[in-house]
Chains A and B, each alone.
Chain A
């Protein structure tokens, strides 16, 4: 029982890891492949391709990390592996 719980915890943790890494890779690399096309869209004076590299991806990284911290904490709590508060 304990061991299947441990496996469940680790597979949920791994899934979250891959989800986070996919988002990370998308905003680190993939979106910037399209910088030239995105630059033709201009919002508030910002060409979008430039804006994503200068600010957009950064905002995503910050939000991603806060979300990741709470999502992993939930996984730990659900499996009874969280630290005491």
Chain B
């Protein structure tokens, strides 16, 4: 009773609670700024920032613990539209969106906007086609809807399978991101940071399920949006005197265009790597640009961890309003990202490219130390590792630069060999000479001669940094803005806290989507339908912990392809779930057979295209060469590389295969559609599968058609209660 009263009080005072929270957070930021002025070291400030915010999330998670099934699965369906919008914003914007989006726009210019469009426009589909109807239905999970609408557990099981395929790699990537951010800002080891992040996620989700995740996500949204906007607003004020970066970067775009012209005229674009920022279709051709937008949008509308957020609103009407609020809160970040990119690009084009290699700005070496910036392929990290390898080789008896690799490989030092081989020949020479002159030389001391040698080797004798000489990791754009603009460390700490909030909140939502599907759809609906409430909740929590630990373990191994696989999640969700969900609401004739055929066809074709074009490119091309969109030059090169591989001597076979396979990935496609947009084939396959499968078999029963009518009308009670249908449909 006391808890119920506290609960009502909390919901009635949400505005006050979160206003106090926001004020408290801002006061905390000011407090840290004062500590910084008093000379407290940055490392300690970083720990305070991250520690304090995680403690607050944990407190919210613990206070929101619950023993009720409907609280655990759908937050008691009491979350007001605007707060659910904020929670969805945090749920949606991942660590990668937060730190990487502006960098993508920096690198790709106009073509990167496919992500901005794709990750916002999808919400129109969510609201118009799906969310209100799923809310009226009253399920706990997305597969739950498939199970009830199409009858029987097979469609439900397929739904769970697709959900796992799209959500698991995604959650691994989030935990990976928490590890990267924590290790970068706090200097923790990556593995420790991953398991620390795991704790931060579990404490927010395990005790209170959806209820706890909702209220922590609102808190996380506030941190992440403040952290994203503050640096760029300060920057805009510094440069243009107006604190509205979203309006002021038009001037920056003009300046960038002028500077691009100068760079070309000054002969700094020898390798022809410069892509004018506003010029369309330089990275993606129009087909792939629009295909990517389409797949990202439809994928957005099908991701279970997003759809299930709309199960928590008090009404169907609120579900619709809530989608609008969600997009508004997401929009705040996404329509700011282009200004981040433009300001950073102007800075780089003005003060980095075309500068003397001896006088590059300080932030370049800061990020070079983290291995995030390369100058002509050289970074301080690479130099340091190469230097370490060289010491080992000299100790093992190497006498000249050319002999180092052989000594290392004979001594079985594969890591050292890789570090040494990562340096180009001229750079190896510089490192070797410097080491001979002084065997205590540091990477920082040889950085300038090394980049000078690398620039010479790249055909640049001007002593100025050319366009092709600079490689910046996408994450640097957001992370370095405070430093570039000369802001105090407190702002950098704020950005780290924001990135962490973005990664943790998305991980929470994904984890809950996976664990709920396993516990509700697989355990309760398919294994033990008589399970009492208490056991269902225990099973949910145990599964949550198992999935989380598994995801953290996978993340701690630093899987190489993880980022590419995240991009796949959208195509998988779009092809596997979208047709069955949308036709389930909008086409009464869709039946069980159709749904099963459709999901298998859509998911199957999408997965086949993703995996085969990436990992079996040669076989894929051999089978489908008639449909490939490759031009004649590419096809000729394919034949040439194939011949080279077939004719290669046994010891050169592996290298020849590598080159052959890398090129095969470029020609292995249907009609030139890129791997990331595989849903372009999967979605039509899914729709055709459902239509044909349904029309060839009997129409759904009268009762089912009435059930669909019920979903379409907001009035009346939900059709499910406590995770079970109120009236069985026959």
Interface residues of A (CB under 8 A from B): 6, 9-10, 13, 17, 20-21, 24, 27-29, 32-33, 35-36, 39, 42-47, 49-51, 53-55, 57-59, 61-62, 64-66, 68-69, 72-73, 76, 80-83
Contact = CB atoms under 8 A, between A and B. Distances in A.
B335 A6 contact: no
B370 to A, nearest CB: 29
B335 to A, nearest CB: 5
7 A-B pairs with least C-beta separation: A45-B250, A65-B324, A53-B113, A69-B320, A54-B338, A46-B250, A81-B713
Contact of A44 (B120, B123, B132, B247): B247
B486 to A, nearest CB: 24
Contacts of A35: 110, 280
Contacts of A57: 117, 120-121
Contacts of A6: 709, 713
B290 interface: yes
Contacts of B334: 58
Q: Is the interface of A mostly helix, strand, loop or mixed?
A: helix
A21 B128 contact: yes
Contact of B335 (A28, A42, A54): A54
Contacts of B250: 43-46, 51
Nearest to B105: A54
Interface in B300-317: 315-317
B323 interface: yes
Given A13-B712, A28-B117, A69 B315 contact: no
Given A58-B120, A65-B124, A82-B317, 16 more contacts: A9-B712, A21-B128, A27-B121, A29-B294, A32-B117, A32-B289, A36-B280, A44-B250, A45-B250, A45-B254, A54-B116, A57-B117, A58-B334, A59-B331, A61-B121, A62-B328
Interface string B118-138: 001101110111001000000
Contacts of A68: 124, 127-128, 320, 324
A62 B121 contact: no
A65 to B, nearest CB: 4
B539 interface: no
A76 B249 CA distance: 43
Nearest to A55: B335
B569 interface: no
Contact of A24 (B125, B253, B278, B712): B125
Contact of B116 (A29, A53, A83): A53
Contacts of A28: 117, 121, 293-294, 297
Contacts of B709: 6
B251 interface: yes
B121 A72 contact: no
A46 B110 contact: no
Given A54-B335, A58-B335, A73-B317, A47 B278 contact: yes
Interface string B83-127: 000000000000000000000000000100100110011011101
Contact of B321 (A27, A32, A54, A69): A69
B714 interface: yes
Nearest to A23: B124
Nearest to A14: B586
Contacts of A53: 110, 113, 116-117
B246 interface: yes
